[in-house]
Structures are given as structure tokens and as C-alpha cells.
A and B are shown apart, each in its own frame.
Chain A
């Protein structure tokens, strides 16, 4: 292998990007857009759920437990609106003007104090599971707070977070996966398009009429794309850290290294896929093929435990599963290569790189 020829190809590919301003902008903007859109849409907490409170609690010996309970509903998840009449409150939910109704019967405190089961009526618009779980979660927290601080210590949960904390947000948990997903999309698409572009212009034929070997071409393109992947990783990681204030407990340079490792394999995959595409239009058709398994099977948005067991084996063949898992462990758990799961992820990614690069060198030659 000639280093000079590898560098000549890398230099050429980078010059092509340099002259193509729109693509250059796309290289930075697309992963940024992905991170921002995913971050804000998936990561948003539920706020301001209009909840009507019909409080008919008459109290017992001067104590109104319903009031105490309502005081313990904190945060901005629910907006409590005092209401009169359960039926009219329910009509509000039916009309779509409120999501939930809490009703406290007149004997609420009395029942509590006399050890009779007390009931809080909750009428819910169950059409949005996200809102339902936010409402119920808030109510459970208030119940726990009201009744453990009220002297009844029959049951208490003692929380000990091994990793993360009570403040860990949804976005904290999926940010590492989104970073990997953004790198996956961009590196794969770029490498497919780069090779297809060479093929459609008759360039591959001309390149292989020189002493250039297919492995040198692949290495050269990979080197150029690694430079691109490097900048993209910087952009997405910075975006995640700055815009969403993700709490990273592990090594950022290590996370960065994993991203690069993943990016290289994606390029190989892109080059291999390009052998099946005759033009850029056909190349674009590979996007859903890469996107959907990566979105749904890899634990980026849902933990692997939430994937039906019949589909689990498929998760294991999608490389993003390993990149996402490694980044998750590094960024949120502070693990290093010494921890076996991370070491396994890295070994799998190294194998992915080797296999796809080898495949790329074989396939690219056949296309001249």
C-alpha cells in the first residue's frame, strides 16, 4: 500500500468538500439539526397539564388532608385549577379542555383518620400515555410525600442511585445514542454518495487505470471521511453538552474515540452499499434501510429490555447498539475500557471497522 496514493485520494476528497459550500454546510448542519430536533422533541418534560381539582373534603377534627396533599404537588407538570362539581369537571375533560380531574370526597380526611380506605377520584384523558404517566407520577410522588411526612411511616422508599440521580432527565439518557445516530446517518450517507458519484462520472475506471489499488482508494476516502466525522463528532458532542447541559461523568475524549471508531465502520458500510447503487437517487434509498433498524432496535430511544425478545437478536447485529451502549456507559456511568461491557462494545466496533473496510475494498474494485 502506498501512503502517497492514500493521501492523494484523501486530499482530493477534502478538496471536493472544500469547493462544495452547500455540502460543507450540510456536514455541520445536518447532525446539529438531528441532535437539536431529537433533543427537544424527545427530551422535553411534560409541563402545564391542566388538571381540575374538585375538593369537597369536609375535614376531620380541624384537619383537611386534601389541602395538604395538594400542597405537595410541586413542579410545573400539573396546573391545578379549583373546580366545583365532578360532573362539570368531567365534561371539561370530555371537551378536551383539561387532561385530568382530581376529586376528593367529603369524607376523605375522615376516612384516612379512621383507617377506612380513602379514595381520590382521578378522571383522565388516556389518549396520551406520556401525559397519563406524567400525571400519575406526580400524584404518586405527592402521595408519598404527604403520607410519609404525615407521621405514617409504614412504608418508605429509600433511593440509592448507583449511576445518575433523581434529576437525570430523559434526554440525559438518550443523548449518547443520539450522538451516535447522527454520526451514523451522516457518515454512511456521505460515503455512499461519494462512491456513487465516482462511479457515475466514470472516475473509478480512470482511477483504476493508474497504479491505485482499491484498498488505497478506500483508505484515502476513509481518511477524508474520518476528518469529516471528527468535525461532526465535535459538533454533535458540543451541541449535546452545551444546549442540553448533559451531565457527563465519564471521559469525553474516550467517548469521542468511540464515535470515530463507529464512524469508520459506517464509511466501510456506506462504500459496500454503494456497490448496489447505480446513481445518487438509488443511494438515497438506502437511508431508511439504515435509519429504521438503528432507530428502533438499538436501545437509543427505548432500552433494549423494551424490545420484544423475538427481535433482540436483530439488535445484536446492528452496530449502533454497541456504539450507543458504549457511549451510554462512558458518558453516564463513567466507565472506561477496563469495564468488560465497554471492552466488548469496542471489540465489536473494531470488528465492524475491519470487516466493512475489507468488504469496501473488495466491492469498490468490482465497480470500475
Chain B
């Protein structure tokens, strides 16, 4: 857990890709031990934000600290679990080989890798598929394998980019309840999603639109602030407000 009590702290982050401004001065503080939802439509800048936090791409300007380490956060990378939006599973490796590779890369020993593979596969309901080639799995199973990779080393900070896409409702519910358990153990879970209804599972959310954070806080507060019945309406109201401002 971070000493500052913040898993991620960033100030005035901007990122340009040529003419496109993906982030326009994003300042966010994400406390440790919460489930934090980054909500917004495609192109809002959610993925860019995660990639900057991981040091995969440098910001154009602004600063960020992840688990108290300035980006790029090389030293704390073994404490971070990342599930990219792309599948990012080797289809020509077995489920077990995929997991073991990432276990080795974050420095786990072989005994721990073996134990944790069994645990995380039980969690994503893929027990018994450890020796299956990923290419033989269904789309949903592949996504679950991808999530299992992010969870394998029991990281302090989980950065999950659209983890629930293509996962059936029942399993989605069990994922959310697991994320809740993780936060009870002091872990931080940052999830991007464009499904507004999923935000009800989060302790805190930030609504993003074209590279800006429109609002942040507990879901109920955001709804109240916007005078909306649900987050979808709150989001639309905030976008309208931002356009007129």
C-alpha cells in the first residue's frame, strides 16, 4: 500500500498524439483500498491514462505518481497487475504457460507460481483448463485468462482496462464481488468501462469525456450533483454543461 494513502496521484496530465489531444490536463487522486471506476465513452482518454500510469507512454506534460513512485514506475511494476483492453494472451501457449510467463516476469518463484495459478484459475472458473491452448478457448474464456494474468501475483494495484467486455453477467457479478474483496484487503482496483451501470460497484468514479475529467466522487454524489436519476443521465448533463461552459 502507498505511504501517501494514494495509489495514483496525477496533476495536469496532458497527452498529444499529433493533432489529437487524448488527455487535456487531467488531475486525479485515487486513494488506496478502493474500487475506482474510470467511466466514459470510447476516446475519452481512459486507456491513455492507464498507459501513462504504467510508463508505457510518456505524458506530454504534467506529473504522476503511482504507488508513491514517479512515472515511469519501474520499481513498483511488480506490485501492479494490468489487464489491457486487447486480449493480450498468447494464443499459442497453454493457459498455464501464459500465467507462468508473467509470474516469472514479475519475479515470483516457481512454487508460488504453481500455487497461485490454481487459485486464480479457480476464481475465473477456468480450473481444469491449465493445459488447454488459449487458442482452443472461447472468447470469454480468453478474457478470463487475461484477467487471471493480472491477478496472478496478488498485486497491490490492479489496472483493468474494460475487464468485463465479453464476460457473461453471472461471471461479471462474481468478478465485481472479488474486486470488492480485494479492496477490503487494502488493494486498489482501477477499472475503465463504458458501461455506466457497472459504476454502481465502484467506491469512487471519475467521468471522462474527450480527455477531461468532468466529475469525480462516489456514484451517488455524482448523480445528486447532476440532479440525475442514473449515471447515464448524469454523464449527458455534465457533457452538456461542459460544452456550454
Residues of A at the B interface (CB closer than 8 Å) are: 4-5, 8-9, 11-12, 15-16, 19-20, 201-203, 205-212, 368
Cβ of B236 under 8 Å from chain A: no
Q: Cα distance A212–B77 when bound, in Å?
A: 9
Cβ of B170 under 8 Å from chain A: no
Interface stretch, picked from B91-99, B174-182, B201-209, is B91-99
Choose one: A16, A202, A207, A368; the contact of B105 (CB below 8 Å): A207
| A16 touching B90, Cβ below 8 Å | yes
Cβ of B31 under 8 Å from chain A: no
Q: Number of residues in B with C-beta < 8 Å to the partner?
A: 30
Choose one: B51, B78, B86, B97; the contact of A15 (CB below 8 Å): B97
Interface core residue of A4, A5, A15, A210 (most chain B CB under 10 Å) = A210
| B78 touching A203, Cβ below 8 Å | no
Dominant secondary structure of chain A at its interface with chain B: helix
Counted as pairs of residues, one from A and one from B, with CB atoms less than 8 Å apart, the total is 70
| B88 touching A203, Cβ below 8 Å | yes
Closest chain A residue, CB of each to CB of B85: A202
| B90 touching A201, Cβ below 8 Å | yes
Closest chain B residue, CB of each to CB of A19: B92
Residues of B at the A interface (CB closer than 8 Å) are: 51, 54-56, 74, 77-78, 80, 82, 84-94, 97, 101-102, 104-107, 133, 149, 159
| B105 touching A203, Cβ below 8 Å | no
Q: How far is the CB of B210 from chain A (nearest CB, A)?
A: 23
Choose one: A4, A9, A20, A202; the contact of B84 (CB below 8 Å): A202
Choose one: B54, B86, B105, B149; the contact of A212 (CB below 8 Å): B105
Q: Cα distance A53–B94 when bound, in Å?
A: 71
Q: How far is the CB of B147 from chain A (nearest CB, A)?
A: 12
| B93 touching A202, Cβ below 8 Å | no
| A210 touching B102, Cβ below 8 Å | yes
Q: Note all chain A residues with C-beta closer than 8 A to B55.
A: 208
Q: Note all chain A residues with C-beta closer than 8 A to B88.
A: 201-203, 205-206
With contacts A206-B102, A208-B56, A210-B77 known, what are 7 further pairs, Cβ within 8 A? A201-B91, A205-B88, A206-B149, A208-B54, A208-B55, A209-B82, A210-B78
| B84 touching A211, Cβ below 8 Å | no
| B107 touching A12, Cβ below 8 Å | no
| A202 touching B82, Cβ below 8 Å | no
